[in-house]
Copies of this chain bind each other. A is one copy, B any other.
């Protein structure tokens, strides 16, 4: 598939005239990252941003003593690293491939030049950044205003949107990663999953979680209920 068609298929660039898509194709570079490989690290100078063509990427920070907080786990066809392009400067967090991950790379300077000529593109980016802000806001809310069982309940309900009946979640990440995404550690996650099973809120085997009591999880997320 040629570059222009790929770009036209990315939601972020939806609705752009094909002339703009060609212009984007002109600056985009295909790159391949393998599992575990780093796109950039916190503090690196921001050269541009990426769009995932396939695979999974985590955005995270490490504390000095090694604890990891994952901010997002992103999949096809989501972009990442955009914010740093407009704030100038450097990346505020690190990005690493969780699998084989082909991406498109857009150099910041050239991309900004394109935006200068195309307000529709600018509005797409504004929408994207706003969504990111919203997601981060709920992450802060989770970390600060909910305890771990509440966070987990909210996470499970969120993952479930769509797969209505039966509400089954295929874990696409390891429980280690999931713990880090929830701002906790694997041991705690494991214990809380067990407590949820004890109370018949969920059923879990190694790779899937089934929601048995949606209402119960919602109450937990809202802090109206506590685990025994």
Residues of A within 8 A of B (CB): 61-65, 67, 69, 71, 83-88, 92-93, 112, 115-120, 122-123, 125-127, 129-134, 136-141, 143-146, 183, 222-224
Contacts and interface: CB of A to CB of B under 8 A. Distances in A.
A63 B112 contact: no
A53 to B, nearest CB: 24
Contacts of A69: 140-141, 144-145
A206 to B, nearest CB: 27
B129 A130 contact: yes
Contacts of A62: 145
17 contacts: A61-B137, A63-B141, A63-B146, A65-B223, A69-B144, A85-B130, A86-B123, A86-B126, A87-B131, A88-B127, A92-B134, A115-B122, A116-B123, A129-B129, A136-B136, A136-B137, A144-B183
B123 A83 contact: no
A132 B87 CA distance: 10
A81 B51 CA distance: 27
Contact of A122 (B123, B133, B141): B123
Nearest to A82: B130
A83 B138 CA distance: 14
A138 B136 CA distance: 11
Contact of A123 (B67, B112, B132, B138): B112
A49 to B, nearest CB: 11
Closest 6 CB pairs of A and B: A122-B122, A87-B130, A63-B145, A86-B126, A129-B129, A86-B130
A74 to B, nearest CB: 15
A49 B89 CA distance: 26
A122 B130 contact: no
Contact of A64 (B63, B64, B123, B224): B224
A22 B92 CA distance: 36
Contacts of A67: 144-145
B119 A223 contact: no
